[in-house]
Structure formats: structure tokens, C-alpha cells
Amino acid sequence: MNLLVLDASVALKWFLTADEPQKDRAMQLLARSQEGTIDFVIPDLFWAELGNVPCKAVRQGRSTAADAEESLRRAKNLELPAFPSEELAESAFAIAQTRKGSFHDSIYLALAISQQATLVTADEKPANATAAYLPLKWLGALQI
């Protein structure tokens, strides 16, 4: 498990409040990445998903714009290698049809398959439903 496709649901835990479920595990992954023992890759779609949550938090009064902008800046400073979703579209479509899942979630899976990596997500239910036949692990079950 040296290469992981990072789902935005995991990365968001790095910037959200301390009582966030599985935050400690997400922080362990980040630490391992900074130590160089694991590498992350992302589809370019990641940025739209990651940016949406802080925007929503500001609108709902749960965060200041300055804090949200700082979270995005910190995420960008990680310099995560991003792959164009366009190149993953055909594979993602086939995956979405097979597993009856969303196209955007399937982009992440297509990247994991193409890079011979494992997708790590904080979304437990879809991970458990798919992990038996696709390279996907729920953050809570991942061996860190």
C-alpha cells in the first residue's frame, strides 16, 4: 500500500473540527505521506469536491471565509499529483454501470485501477459494498 488514491472525504478530515469521525486515522495517513512512506494521487475532480465543503460551511456560518481559504491553501501546498478526469471517463463510465454507482465516484475508482493503487475513502457504506471486487478501502478499516 504505497500508492493511494485520496478521496476528498478523507482529505477534508485534515481541515475539519477535532470531533470529526476518523479524523485521527486521516491525520495518520497525512503524516505517513509527509514521511514519504505512502504517496497520494487524485483525479482533478478532487478539487471541486474539496472546495465545495468549505464554501458550504462559510454560507452556513460554520466557518469563516479566511479559515476556509486557509484550508484550501494548505491542501494545495500538499502538491498532490492530479490526473485529468477526461482520461478516466470511459473506464469510470463502465465502472459506474457495473456497480450502479455515481460517475464521479467511479472516476476515483478508475484512477485507482489505472495506477494499480487503492482508493481510500471515509464513506463507509459504499466502500464496504464495493471493496470485495474493486481496489477500495474504508478509512476505518485501512491498515495504517
How do residues 111-139 score in pLDDT, each as one tens digit? 999 999 999 999 887 776 776 678 888 89
Question: Is 80 exceeded by the pLDDT of residue 16?
Answer: no
Q: Which residues contact 84 (CB under 8 A, 6 or more apart)?
A: 43, 44
Torsion of CA 26, 79, 111, 139, to 10 degrees: 0
Main-chain phi, psi angles of 138, to 5 degrees: -80, 140
* Structural domains present in the chain: 3-44+80-141 (3.40.50.1010)
> What digits encode the pLDDT tens for the residues 42-94?
999 999 999 988 888 889 887 888 888 888 898 999 999 999 999 999 999 99
Main-chain phi, psi angles of 81, to 5 degrees: -65, 125
How far, in Å, CA of 34 to CA of 14, rounded? 13
Whole-structure pTM value: 0.89
CB atoms within 10 A of CB 88: 23
How far, in Å, CA of 141 to CA of 132, rounded? 13
Specify the 3-state DSSP secondary structure of 85. Answer: helix
